[in-house]
Structure 1
Amino acid sequence: MLGTSLLGRLRSRDPGDAVLRRAARLTLVASAVFYACRYGAGSPMLATYGLFGVVAAGSFAQLPGPAPQRARILVTSLPAVWALIAVGSLLAWSTWTAAGGMLVIGFVVAFAGVGNPRLVGLASAFQLFYILASFPPYQPNTLPERLAGVTLAVVLLAVAEVFLWPDPVPVTYRQRLTEATGGVAAFLDATATMLTDPRGGHGGRDTRRERAYDTVAGLALGLNPTAWAPTAAGARDRALRICAAALREVLAEADRLAADAPPEPIPDLAAARLLTSCAETIRAAGRSLAPGAQPIDLGDLDAAIGRAERAYPVGEGDDRDAPDVPRLCRDATALALADQVRVLAVGVRVANGSRLDGEDVYSGLFEYARHGPWTLYWRQFRSHLAPRSVHLHSSLRLAVALAVARVAAGVFQLTHGFWVLLATLTVLHTSAAETRTALRPAVLGTIAGAVVSGGLMLVVQEPIVYAIALPFTLMLAFGVGRLLGPVWQQALFTVLLTFVFAQLAPEGWRLAEARLVDVVLGAVIGVVAGVAMWPRGASRELRRNAARYLEATADAVEQTVRAVLGGPRPDQAFERVRRSTVLVDSSYCQYHSERPDPPSRRVDWDAVLATGHRVVPAAESLLRRNPPGCLAGWPAVAPLLRDSAGQLRGGYDDLADEVVHGRPAGPVPAPADCVDELDRIRPLLGEVGSQSSVRHLVEVDRWLAGLADSLARVHPPAGGEPVSRGRRQ
């Protein structure tokens, strides 16, 4: 009955038996490597590095992608593994040289992941390879054996990943993006139908709207594991992030179109025709994300945009004193939406590796596509060399803690000192609260494991018993312990290490005692480092980075308005926002892995960051259609636009102050429907002789109104109806 209950508990925690399959794979590889090296080759050194190669690369490394991709990552990482073991072996002659190497390597390995999530998944494994090699005995002559053992382990593990119970192919970010394009395209079709027949019922549209927002919400970086989210510095990952932002903007614009739907049916509505073409382009973009698919063709969309621009009205016939404001609003919104669809399509091209010609670069939006991967990696690396970077904080904290642990192990001359660093690596998290949470199961599990394994050592002295039991302890440590929880995992891992070293260097029950002392020492060092160095983790830096991000966003809005009124392009302001985006996005991703503090928990981070994320892409598109100086010849509109930009500036600044200090934000600019928004400039629409100037004014004003709408989503007007446009209810 107890066995059945335990099995049911394990199955409920492991849908699809993914953890148990992986544990069985690691058990077979680890057993084969250990037996072949220890008893076949008769080399304890070869066996030690072979077994720990499997543990590091198979258990501590978190690799993304399907099995063949993970296998390629393991094999291509071998040169770095060899280098780390070689350096560790050469620096092991002195405690201080080994600790200095730990400080440098610990930081470099951890911080290198800022440009590629695959390196983040390998960081712990890389550090373990150096840690193991940097401890006595100092035997450089054994380096060939060490490298051979690790190479055998990694190669066999890569083969096993592909051929032994491979994990199911995971849902990739590209597949999520493809699903989102289907949902958004269906929503656009329903919106186009609503525009031409507003009395035809909205039931189907509401359902499609809900699905579209649900699928697009799944693209948020914070909701995707670090190893899967497109956070790398390369052009393809950056393009995927732009595609997700473009889809969010398309949804917001579609909601605004629905809010401005005509009261009577207009079968030949230009906005509806353009929306239908946009829906087809979005579907084609989603299909082209599949491997081997044909590149997306923008010809049909460009033709549809051209027809819509030529149909853009100023007034009824030649009567410029009575412009058709509702139609102006619909056409301006539809053209803004179409431009975001084009951004999506170009982003998909870049994500598929296509080169862009000059006209597709959208000034700065796709400027990065002109550069190689090393240039882009260096830019992101440099962006994180900043006092507010959570990656910098985490890397420094970990490097210092590991170096201190290495000094402590050497000074106290601990026989198995690498267990101290292993415990520090296990316990230390990105915030003091998470580190304290990890301390209790680490210590309790080690105590339990030490008691059990010490008792066994007193009763059973024959190494052959531990050799026979090794596969069972491997399966328990890699599979059952992980499913039952941290205490069980630490306890079973302690038993595993005791069984291994009973065959490598028998020490009796004192081996369990040494394990307990080492883990407690390493855990204490990890807790002290977590409390002393940036103890609040990402929560505090997220608030500070978000405030700077919102301030940079407000500046970009004002600079964009100045540009259309005759000022220079706001390229530097856009670049400041992009640099701020790197830090705030990384803080947000780490924030989701931590226990948030009370001030951060009160903030709707999705809504706050959305107010900024849409500014630069939308401003880039706005300036592409409305170039700098397009309204310079119409001085009467300048005070109105500057006033709107000033109100937005105040709203962004108030929101930034609330995010940092927790103070209530002031009144936010109230969003308005397009027709109501343009009523205040209706008298000006007949004062200018240029039809293009009217179009420019409408589009700029609509852009500003959309930004006010996104601010209102963070704090809906008091006593009013909740903001529904662009936000899933």
Structure 2
Amino acid sequence: MVGRGGVLRRTGGAVVLGTSLLGRLRRRDPGDAILRRAARLTLVASVVFFGCRYGAGSSTLATYGLFGTIAAGSFAQLPGPARRRARILVQSLPVVWALIAVGSLLAWSTWAAAGGMLVVGFVVAFAGVGNPRLVGLASAFQLFYILASFPPYQPGTLPERLGGVTLAVALLAAAEVFLWPDPVPVSYRQRLAEAADGIAAFLDATAGRLTDPHAAAVDRDTRRERAHDAVTAIELNRSPPASAPTAAGAQDRALRICAAALREVLAEADRLAADAPAEPIPDLAAARLLSSCADTTRAAGRSLSPGAPAVAAADLDGAVGRAEAAYPVGAGNARDAPDVPRLCRDATALALADQVRVFAVGCRVATGARLVGDDASSGLFEYARHSPWTLYWWQFRSHLAPRSAHLHSSLRLAVALAIARVAAGVLQLTHGFWVLLATLTVLRTSAADTRTALRPAVLGTIVGAVVSGGVMLLVDELIVYAIVLPVTMLLAFGVGRLLGPVWQQALFTVLLTVVFAQLGPEGWRLAEARLVDVLLGTVIGVLAGVAMWPRGAGHDLRYNAARYLAANADAVDQTVQAVLGAVPPPEGALDRVRRRMVLIDSSYCQYHSERHDPHRQQLNWDAVLSAGHHVLPGAESLLRRNPPGCLAGWPEAAALLRDSAGRLRSAYDTLAEEATHGGTAARPPVSTRCVDQLDRIRPLLGEADLESVRHLVEVDRWLAGLADSLTRISPPAADELVGHRRKP
């Protein structure tokens, strides 16, 4: 009985342990997405490997088929639904063929292969600047060249190599669509559309508030809260790298501009809600314009859905025209004191409409619709009028700069891989491509990320090598390795990924040992070679990460942010000077803002994929980028409604505006200093309520005509809105600092 009880206790303990492990895996993979993907990879890799190795009797076919499956299925990071991922895989085949052919032809010499690795490593990595599909495929493409560039030099086997990879990619693409397909993820466009719906509802409530201050206050507050939650959800730091619109293409770029525009729309709506009149004004132009903005925002958001019609801004333009025509009317006349609060509300509504129009045009660009007329009037979307090849060339050219984060990371990776290739060739390592694979796995865009990836890579490889060596000393039957291969695949692709980097690296080491035990007679020394190769590759990766631009995109982002904020300050100052008649329109200053926006935008996109130092205070980079999006359309619309020199004959107004612009420039300079050196100081909130505007302007009214008062109110209101946008550039909350790492 005691013995039976002991057996039962041990059995029960094993069941509890297994249940606990299963529960842990389910918690880390609630939708079973990782396990489904692992099952697909296991099935495809097993079919390809067994069919080529034992069916066709070709080790070359089996090697390239298996590694083609691993590269395209595990190293490639492709976002979107299954059919889109499958289409990208199939379309990438010509590039894969070219890389394998080049690698095979350069394998005759270590130095030729290393030179090819330097070129291929840089070109593949840097190409992601312009082509969003290459971002997720870069590691896979490099792996294809790496595998082919090692001896034996056998150009005659090129058809078998290409055949194995083609079979693997084709089967994997079919499996993505037909074998346990993943549910369609919530895309960034869907979240952007939800944010647009939430903001439109808040705009409707705010319009009602302006004409009836007692209308549904509780409902308005609820809509405001929902709108703020929806806008928070579209910040890039809350999106995983695979679904965030961080590519350099026209559509992703437009989505980022749309998100910034929605943030500004919400901020302007908050100001209007706070400026509701004490008594209802049934015929308020701002309320009518706000309702039109709500309709346009809602329609533009819904146009982001597949198959939805593109939104047209004609109705909004008509509403803006009517609001501009009614702008001075009802705000007082020549014999009465101007109604400055009403002028403030009208100016705020027009500023809000400018941002809604940016959002509507951005949605057209994001859906691939062609721009017509003056859809690019804000200057933010002028790039969308050009062909994709022109855009890519501009993007490449703008990043061939000393401070480009993309240039730094591409050069770092290319040099590290080339050095690893030379080391593997000079030392005549049997499985030298493992050295480059380890370098590719460990090396990150910053030294901090590289250091983080180092420990699991080394520790996992040691554990895997010890286990593999022990197994190979005890087992010498080929059939055993063939039987356990699918199990090790499932563990490496699925369970290891769920348990953590150390487990993933250990199980991947065991998988490679099981594979090569069926391809060659090396025995337990295969585990030893794996350990030596990985240690060498990690050393090279760490040295490259420490020696070449170790601070990653964060350093470049701070530098580019400082120059971007300085350009914004110049544009604001020159816009004010133009209104006062001191300088011509600031076309050059606005153009500098656009150019510097490209670099900070791309630096932030790369920064988004890095691990951030938790001990270093971070800026709200989404708000930093939004500052420029506020300046550009705002300045252009302001100068359209308030032509240069419109306030030239009013010295008191000139003194007030220059004082406001000077304080704003100081705020930009302070923020640029904080961005450069890290840390942020608390900034007091800026009042943008119309009652405070009235207190500032009342002493200047005197005998001024209504048109001049209107110009003064709108310019001063714009400066106050810019100052308010700077107060929002504060450290994000701790739960918003989501560190994302590139998958090994």
TM-score normalised over the length of structure 1: 0.94
Structure 1 counterpart of 2:591, which letter? E
Structure 1 counterpart of 2:72, which letter? A
Q: Which moved more, 1:463-472 or 1:618-627?
A: 618-627
Residue 320 of structure 1 contacts residue 685 of structure 1 at CA under 8 Å; is this kept in 2? no
Deviation at 1:692, TM superposition (A): 4.4
Deviation at 1:357, TM superposition (A): 2.6
Aligned equivalent of 1:643, options 659, 675, 684: 659
Residue 328 of structure 2 contacts residue 707 of structure 2 at CA under 8 Å; is this kept in 1? no
Q: Distance in 1 between matches of 2:721 and 2:347?
A: 12
Aligned equivalent of 1:82, options 81, 92, 97: 97
Q: Is 2:633 aligned against 1:617?
A: yes
Deviations 1:651-709 (A, max 9, x none): 111111122234776987944423322433335446454x5444333221111010111
Q: Is 2:76 aligned against 1:53?
A: no
Q: Which moved more, 1:245-254 or 1:622-631?
A: 622-631
Write out aligned runs for 1:261-280 (5 A): 261-280=276-295
Secondary structure of the 1:16 match is: coil
Report the CA distance shift for 1:603/1:343 in structure 2 as closer, same or farther (over 3 A): closer
Q: Distance in 2 between matches of 1:263 and 1:644?
A: 28
Write out aligned runs for 1:370-381 (5 A): 370-381=385-396
Alignment match, 1:139: 154
Deviations 1:52-77 (A, max 9, x none): 00000000000011111111110111
Q: Distance in 2 between matches of 1:316 and 1:503?
A: 86
Q: Is 2:566 aligned against 1:573?
A: no
Alignment match, 1:596: 612
Residue 445 of structure 1 contacts residue 487 of structure 1 at CA under 8 Å; is this kept in 2? yes
Deviations 1:622-677 (A, max 9, x none): 33433444444555533322222121111111111122234776987944423322
Deviations 1:112-135 (A, max 9, x none): 111233211000000000000010
Q: Which moved more, 1:80-89 or 1:208-217?
A: 208-217
Residue 248 of structure 2 contacts residue 602 of structure 2 at CA under 8 Å; is this kept in 1? no
Q: Distance in 1 between matches of 2:536 and 2:385?
A: 51
Report the CA distance shift for 1:268/1:344 in structure 2 as closer, same or farther (over 3 A): same
Q: Which moved more, 1:206-215 or 1:487-496?
A: 206-215
Q: Distance in 1 between matches of 2:331 and 2:71?
A: 73
Deviations 1:11-53 (A, max 9, x none): 1111111000000000111011111111111110111001000
The CA RMSD measured in Å over matched residues stands at 2.2
Q: Distance in 2 between matches of 1:519 and 1:715?
A: 42
Alignment match, 1:585: 601
Q: Is 2:517 aligned against 1:490?
A: no
Deviations 1:338-395 (A, max 9, x none): 2222222222222222222333221522211210111111111222222222211111
Structure 2 counterpart of 1:611, which letter? A
Q: Distance in 1 between matches of 2:259 and 2:594?
A: 16
Deviations 1:200-219 (A, max 9, x none): 45322222112111211222
Report the CA distance shift for 1:156/1:715 in structure 2 as closer, same or farther (over 3 A): closer
Aligned equivalent of 1:368, options 383, 388, 393: 383
Deviation at 1:600, TM superposition (A): 4.0
Secondary structure of the 2:445 match is: coil
Alignment match, 2:474: 459
Q: Distance in 2 between matches of 1:439 and 1:365?
A: 42
Q: Is 2:550 aligned against 1:535?
A: yes
Alignment match, 1:696: 711
Alignment match, 1:508: 523
Secondary structure of the 1:247 match is: helix
> Percent same amino acid among aligned pairs?
79
Deviation at 1:166, TM superposition (A): 0.9
Alignment match, 1:323: 338
Write out aligned runs for 1:45-444 (5 A): 45-200=60-215, 202-313=217-328, 318-320=333-335, 322-444=337-459
Q: Distance in 2 between matches of 1:665 and 1:364?
A: 32
Deviations 1:77-96 (A, max 9, x none): 11111111111111111111
Aligned equivalent of 1:13, options 28, 31, 46: 28
Residue 208 of structure 2 contacts residue 287 of structure 2 at CA under 8 Å; is this kept in 1? yes
Q: Distance in 1 between matches of 2:152 and 2:695?
A: 82
Q: Distance in 1 between matches of 2:721 and 2:277?
A: 20
Q: Distance in 2 between matches of 1:509 and 1:199?
A: 81
Report the CA distance shift for 1:531/1:234 in structure 2 as closer, same or farther (over 3 A): closer
Secondary structure of the 2:240 match is: coil
Report the CA distance shift for 1:654/1:518 in structure 2 as closer, same or farther (over 3 A): same
Q: Distance in 1 between matches of 2:469 and 2:681?
A: 60
Secondary structure of the 1:263 match is: coil
Alignment match, 1:626: 642
Q: Distance in 2 between matches of 1:113 and 1:608?
A: 24
Secondary structure of the 2:32 match is: helix
Structure 1 counterpart of 2:572, which letter? V
Deviation at 1:97, TM superposition (A): 0.9
Deviations 1:396-441 (A, max 9, x none): 1111111111111011100000000001111111221221221111
Structure 2 counterpart of 1:472, which letter? V
Secondary structure of the 1:396 match is: helix
Deviations 1:205-249 (A, max 9, x none): 222112111211222233323332223333322322222222111
Q: Which moved more, 1:575-584 or 1:255-264?
A: 575-584
Deviations 1:500-551 (A, max 9, x none): 1111112110001100110111111111111111222233222222211111
Deviations 1:590-643 (A, max 9, x none): 334334346742544444444344222322333343344444455553332222
Q: Distance in 2 between matches of 1:585 and 1:306?
A: 33
Q: Which moved more, 1:233-242 or 1:42-51?
A: 233-242
Q: Distance in 2 between matches of 1:96 and 1:397?
A: 19
Deviation at 1:452, TM superposition (A): 1.1
Q: Distance in 2 between matches of 1:578 and 1:228?
A: 25
Q: Is 2:727 aligned against 1:712?
A: yes
Residue 325 of structure 1 contacts residue 678 of structure 1 at CA under 8 Å; is this kept in 2? yes
Alignment match, 1:661: 677
Alignment match, 2:736: none
Alignment: residue pair count: 715
Report the CA distance shift for 1:633/1:235 in structure 2 as closer, same or farther (over 3 A): farther
Q: Distance in 2 between matches of 1:476 and 1:316?
A: 73
Secondary structure of the 1:296 match is: coil
Residue 315 of structure 1 contacts residue 321 of structure 1 at CA under 8 Å; is this kept in 2? no
Alignment match, 1:726: none
Structure 1 counterpart of 2:664, which letter? L
Residue 619 of structure 2 contacts residue 679 of structure 2 at CA under 8 Å; is this kept in 1? no
Q: Distance in 2 between matches of 1:250 and 1:583?
A: 25
Residue 361 of structure 1 contacts residue 367 of structure 1 at CA under 8 Å; is this kept in 2? yes
Q: Distance in 1 between matches of 2:418 and 2:118?
A: 5
Report the CA distance shift for 1:600/1:675 in structure 2 as closer, same or farther (over 3 A): same
Q: Distance in 2 between matches of 1:197 and 1:33?
A: 70
Q: Distance in 1 between matches of 2:576 and 2:130?
A: 34
Write out aligned runs for 1:550-565 (5 A): 550-565=565-580
Q: Distance in 2 between matches of 1:358 and 1:300?
A: 15
Alignment match, 1:680: 696
Secondary structure of the 2:431 match is: coil
Residue 651 of structure 1 contacts residue 669 of structure 1 at CA under 8 Å; is this kept in 2? no
Q: Distance in 1 between matches of 2:304 and 2:335?
A: 46
Deviation at 1:198, TM superposition (A): 2.0
TM-score normalised over the length of structure 2: 0.92
Q: Distance in 2 between matches of 1:148 and 1:686?
A: 85
Q: Which moved more, 1:703-712 or 1:238-247?
A: 238-247
Where does structure 2 lack aligned partners over 5 or more consecutive residues? Answer: 1-14, 732-744
